[in-house]
């Protein structure tokens, strides 16, 4: 098993854990953490494909990862703001009870 | 004095008031009802006498003096319909006749109806009749004439059916009403036609009335589609009304049946006054009948029609009278016959001839009817002359007055009024150039008149009391006697079954009437034709030599001869050997049984009408009923069944097809909506889960696709 495959497996594991957390947990914070995990699994993939790719001298993978982390930071800020705002309105962070999207 | 003419309405107003008041009185107010009736008639007579004097004063010198009073009554668009009354010699004569005869008959009725429980009602109807008849006489408008004409028809109906609990009386009343209605329909049509042509229904209106020259000229020159002149057409239609009212052939059938009414009614209405209204109508609108453009020496077509109908009726009814056995029916057919004579007189000799016979006839026929009433009263409601006989010695006053009436009706020469008036008619018929047949018919009728009256008098007053008649009289049980005249009188006379003379209240009018039956003849003899001159507005002077003028004497001789022939024949057949048994066959019946049966059954006219008119009516009604029941009802049923079927179909479509379709669609929508609603839970994680599943499936598909290629 090459090291690339090992990285890909690791990132797939991370993604799966994040996905399970995002889908299964009720707490909005945990769901947000799950989303961050999935994002980081994608970052790990960028780095791994860049490191074991055809031209590792170009810093494309790192650049991608840095952008992605930046976006993830902004996204986490927006997500947390949403969670706080929902909590203020509904006094809960339990996503099972937040169903006002059904109209 | 023309103030009286302006207030001529007062004459009918008094009897009308009496009728109105007695209509609301209780049954027990007998004296009051009779008193008011007689008082109002007396007042009317006084006023009529005054009107007569006024008319006489106007007539003298001025030439047919006539005072009219018209007033507007009803507005049609721009036009006013006017009513009014007229005072002229014709009116004056009729007024005096009607009120005088009426008064006498009112007095007589007090005795005749004394035991009737509906005495008050009787006087109410009688007063109403007198009012209507007097109104008819004074009318100056054909409309007012028609109104009063219908009113007398109504009272005639009411009085014929006075004893309405007798089915025959009720049927006779209906027959009279319906038969005269046939004539009245024509009268109404004529009236409407006259109004449409001349624009007025007033007789005299200062030159604008429909009987005045300007209007007559228009009417007589305007042809109708059939070639007759308009005036002829209208006159014939009006004459149809007169035929109905005056019982001329072929509408005579009601008059004999009208004898079901009380005898005073028969005398007043169905002999003296109302049935003469038809003759009076022709006399009143005589200018219309005689209107023609060219010189017509023998009168116009309408006058010829009047003549022919009159002369046929005169003979037709006289032959029937020969074979009748009911004392009142003989007189009734005699009335029909004499009315025919009047029509003849009008048609050939003009107003004066016809009117003279009308006036004299009114008196002697009223006398005869009242005498017959007295006989019936004395014989306890026996009307069949075969059961009488020998009454002369029981009722002397009635016998004497009846004899005078009978001689007057027969036209006994020189002394009695009927002779002169009938002679006038025969004279006119003799000088009529169009045909001699009316003269022959008239002579034959006069002979028959004398014959049947002799037969009747011989049956009733001469000979001996017929035994079976007396037995029949005795066997009449109290309960079976006349329903309208209950027991008090029978209790009074119950012990003896002898006929008795009537009370004085009944014989006094007889005496007065018999005086007039004689005296009236002298005002219209050829020697001193005062009556004729009065009607035409000329001076009358005594001139005995007029008796000897061209054709007068032969006619006098002929009419004298036929009267004696009739009287002699009657006496020879019935008086010489008195009839001894009531039910033995008539002398004529033994001679000519078939002819006699034909006459006794009145030429089967009633049967023919029954077969033709009533039969057709019944057939038509049945046909209509059949059509109604099967055709129209079937159609209606078909339509309704179709509608019911269609609605069933509609209901099926609605309930099953449309409703269930909608229901299904709605259920589908509801179900789909519920499914979708469940999908849209609003839970983000569920959405994400679905996205995940979708993504996975997509990825698997892609993988599988890659592998397949």
Share of chain B above pLDDT 70, in %: 91
> What's the pLDDT at B540?
67
Please list, in sequence order, all residues whose beta carbon lies within 8 angstroms of the beta carbon of residue B103, skipping any fewer than 6 positions away.
B38, B41, B42, B44, B45
Taking the CA of residue A20 and the nearest CA in chain B, the distance in Å comes to 10
Share of chain B above pLDDT 90, in %: 45
Q: Is the pLDDT of residue B530 over 90?
A: no
Q: In chain A, which residue's Cα lies nearest the Cα of B686?
A: A23
pLDDT digits (tens, 9 = 90+) for B18-66: 999 999 888 888 888 899 999 999 999 999 999 998 888 876 655 457 8
CA torsion B25-B31-B34-B37 (nearest 10°) is: -70
Q: What angle do CA B500, B505, B506 make, to 5 degrees?
A: 55
pLDDT confidence bin for B545, thresholds 50/70/90: low
Say if residues B267 and B370 touch (Cβ distance below 8 Å): yes
Say if residues B331 and B271 touch (Cβ distance below 8 Å): yes
pLDDT digits (tens, 9 = 90+) for B618-653: 999 999 999 999 999 999 999 999 999 999 999 999
In eight-state DSSP terms, residue B252 is T
Q: Is the pLDDT of residue B136 over 60?
A: yes
Taking the CA of residue B667 and the nearest CA in chain A, the distance in Å comes to 22
ipTM over 0.85? The verdict is no
Mean pLDDT by 10 residues, chain A (103 residues): 87 92 87 91 90 85 90 91 89 81 69
> What's the pLDDT at B222?
82
Taking the CA of residue B678 and the nearest CA in chain A, the distance in Å comes to 9
Say if residues B348 and B428 touch (Cβ distance below 8 Å): yes
> What's the pLDDT at B555?
85
Q: At what angle do helices B142-160 and B119-138 cross, to 10 degrees?
A: 160
> What's the pLDDT at B474?
57
Q: In chain A, which residue's Cα lies nearest the Cα of B693?
A: A23
Q: In chain A, which residue's Cα lies nearest the Cα of B681?
A: A102
How many Cα atoms sit within 13 Å of B516 on the Cβ side? 20
Please list, in sequence order, all residues whose beta carbon lies within 8 angstroms of the beta carbon of residue A79, skipping any fewer than 6 positions away.
A32, A35
Does residue B72 sit in helix, strand or coil?
A: strand
* Overall average pLDDT of the B248-252 stretch: 89
Taking the CA of residue B647 and the nearest CA in chain A, the distance in Å comes to 47
Cα–Cα distance for residue pair B466/B469, rounded to 1 Å = 5
pLDDT digits (tens, 9 = 90+) for B367-409: 999 999 999 888 877 888 888 888 888 889 999 999 999 999 9
Q: In chain B, which residue's Cα lies nearest the Cα of A23?
A: B685
* Interfacial residues of A (vs B; Cβ cutoff 8 Å): 19, 22-24, 31, 95-96, 98-103
Taking the CA of residue A76 and the nearest CA in chain B, the distance in Å comes to 17
Q: In chain B, which residue's Cα lies nearest the Cα of A21?
A: B685
Query: Do B680 and A103 lie within an 8 Å CB cutoff?
Result: yes
pLDDT digits (tens, 9 = 90+) for B1-16: 467 878 888 999 999 9
> What's the pLDDT at B486?
40
* Overall average pLDDT of the B468-490 stretch: 48
Cα–Cα distance for residue pair B460/B374, rounded to 1 Å = 12
pLDDT digits (tens, 9 = 90+) for B283-303: 999 988 888 766 555 568 888
Query: Do A99 and B689 lie within an 8 Å CB cutoff?
Result: no
Say if residues B141 and B202 touch (Cβ distance below 8 Å): yes
User: Two tokens at B61?
Assistant: 């010198």
Q: Which residues of A touch B684 (CB under 8 A)?
A: 95, 98, 101
* Interfacial residues of B (vs A; Cβ cutoff 8 Å): 677, 680-685, 688-689, 692
pLDDT confidence bin for B665, thresholds 50/70/90: very high
Q: In chain B, which residue's Cα lies nearest the Cα of A97?
A: B683
Query: Do B683 and A19 lie within an 8 Å CB cutoff?
Result: no
Inter-chain Cβ pairs, chain A and chain B, closer than 8 A: 31
User: Two tokens at B296?
Assistant: 């017509």
Beta bridge partners of B82: B72
B167, B260, B347, B380, B490 from B480: Cα distances, Å? 15, 17, 48, 11, 12
Query: Do B689 and A23 lie within an 8 Å CB cutoff?
Result: yes
Query: Do B692 and A96 lie within an 8 Å CB cutoff?
Result: no
Nearest Cβ partner for B682 among A22, A23, A101: A101
B11, B43, B70, B151, B537 from B47: Cα distances, Å? 6, 6, 20, 22, 21
Nearest Cβ partner for A99 among B681, B688, B692: B681
pLDDT digits (tens, 9 = 90+) for B91-121: 999 999 999 999 999 999 998 888 888 899 9
Helices (H) and strands (E) in chain B, counts: 31, 2
Taking the CA of residue A58 and the nearest CA in chain B, the distance in Å comes to 31
Query: Do A95 and B682 lie within an 8 Å CB cutoff?
Result: no
Nearest Cβ partner for B685 among A23, A102, A103: A23
> What's the pLDDT at B483?
43
Query: Do B682 and A22 lie within an 8 Å CB cutoff?
Result: no
């Amino acid at each position: 098993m090459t090291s690339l495959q090992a990285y890909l497996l690791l990132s797939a594991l991370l993604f799966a854990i994040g996905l399970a957390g995002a889908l299964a947990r009720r707490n909005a914070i945990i769901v947000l953490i799950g989303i961050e995990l999935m994002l980081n699994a994608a970052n790990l993939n960028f780095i791994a494909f860049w490191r074991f790719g055809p031209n590792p001298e170009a810093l494309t993978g790192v650049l991608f990862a840095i952008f992605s982390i930046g976006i993830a930071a902004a996204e986490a800020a927006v997500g947390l703001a949403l969670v706080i705002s929902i909590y203020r309105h509904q006094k809960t962070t339990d996503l099972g009870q937040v169903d006002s999207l059904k109209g | 004095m023309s103030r009286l003419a302006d207030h001529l309405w007062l004459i009918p107003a008094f009897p009308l008031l009496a009728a109105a008041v007695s209509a609301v009185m209780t049954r027990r107010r007998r004296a009051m009802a009779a008193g008011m009736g007689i008082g109002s008639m007396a007042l009317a007579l006084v006023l009529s006498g005054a009107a007569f004097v006024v008319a006489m004063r106007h007539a003298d010198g001025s030439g047919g003096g006539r005072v009219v009073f018209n007033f507007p009554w009803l507005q049609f668009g721009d036009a006013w319909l006017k009513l009014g009354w007229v005072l002229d010699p014709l009116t004056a004569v009729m007024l005096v006749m009607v009120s005088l005869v009426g008064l006498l008959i009112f007095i007589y009725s007090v005795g005749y109806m004394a035991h009737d429980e509906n005495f008050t009602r009787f006087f109410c109807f009688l007063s109403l009749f007198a009012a209507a008849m007097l109104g008819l006489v004074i009318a100056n408008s054909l409309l007012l004439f028609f109104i009063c004409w219908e009113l007398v028809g109504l009272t005639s109906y009411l009085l014929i059916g006075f004893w309405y609990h007798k089915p025959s009386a009720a049927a006779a009343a209906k027959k009279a009403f319906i038969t005269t209605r046939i004539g009245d329909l024509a009268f109404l049509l004529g009236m409407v036609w006259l109004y449409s042509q001349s624009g007025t229904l007033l007789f005299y209106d200062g030159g604008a009335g429909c009987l005045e020259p300007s209007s007559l000229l228009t009417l007589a020159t305007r042809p109708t589609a059939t070639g007759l002149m308009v005036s002829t057409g209208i006159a014939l239609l009006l004459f149809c009304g007169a035929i109905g009212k005056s019982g001329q052939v072929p509408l005579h059938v009601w008059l004999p049946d009208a004898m079901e009414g009380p005898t005073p009614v028969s005398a007043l209405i169905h002999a003296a006054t109302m049935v003469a209204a038809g003759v009076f109508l022709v006399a009143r609108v005589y200018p219309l009948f005689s209107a023609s453009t060219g010189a017509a020496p023998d009168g116009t077509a309408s006058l010829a029609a009047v003549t022919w109908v009159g002369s046929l009726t005169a003979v037709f009814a006289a032959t029937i009278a020969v074979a009748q056995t009911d004392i009142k029916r003989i007189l009734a057919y005699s009335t029909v016959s004499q009315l025919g004579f009047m029509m003849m007189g009008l048609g050939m000799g003009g107003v004066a001839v016809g009117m003279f016979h009308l006036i004299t006839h009114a008196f002697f026929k009223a006398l005869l009817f009242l005498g017959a009433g007295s006989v019936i009263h004395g014989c306890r409601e026996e009307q069949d002359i075969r059961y009488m006989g020998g009454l002369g010695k029981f009722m002397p006053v009635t016998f004497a007055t009846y004899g005078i009436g009978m001689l007057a009706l027969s036209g006994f020469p020189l002394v009695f009024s009927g002779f002169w008036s009938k002679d006038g008619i025969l004279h006119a018929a003799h000088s009529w150039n169009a045909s001699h047949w009316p003269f022959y018919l008239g002579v034959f009728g006069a002979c028959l008149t004398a014959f049947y009256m002799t037969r009747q008098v011989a049956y009733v007053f001469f000979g001996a009391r017929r035994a079976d008649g007396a037995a029949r009289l005795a066997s009449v049980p109290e309960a079976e006697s006349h329903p309208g005249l209950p027991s008090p009188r029978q209790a009074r006379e119950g012990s003896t079954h002898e006929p008795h003379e009537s009370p004085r209240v009944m014989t006094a009018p007889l005496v007065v009437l018999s005086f007039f039956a004689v005296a009236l003849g002298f005002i219209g003899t050829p020697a001193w034709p005062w009556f004729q001159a009065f009607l035409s507005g000329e001076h009358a002077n005594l001139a005995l030599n007029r008796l000897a003028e061209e054709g007068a004497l032969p006619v006098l001789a002929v009419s004298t001869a036929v009267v004696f022939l009739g009287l002699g024949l009657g006496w020879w057949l019935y008086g010489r050997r008195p009839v001894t048994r009531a039910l033995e066959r008539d002398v004529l019946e033994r001679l000519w049984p078939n002819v006699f049966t034909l006459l006794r059954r009145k030429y089967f006219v009633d049967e023919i009408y029954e077969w033709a008119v009533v039969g057709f009516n019944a057939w038509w009604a049945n046909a209509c009923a059949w059509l109604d029941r099967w055709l129209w009802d079937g159609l209606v049923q078909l339509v309704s069944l179709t509608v019911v079927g269609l609605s069933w179909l509609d209901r099926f479509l609605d309930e099953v097809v449309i409703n269930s379709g909608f229901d299904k669609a709605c259920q589908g929508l509801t179900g789909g909506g519920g499914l979708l609603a469940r999908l849209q839970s609003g839970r983000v994680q569920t959405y994400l889960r679905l996205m995940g599943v979708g993504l996975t499936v997509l990825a698997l598909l892609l993988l599988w696709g890659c592998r397949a290629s």
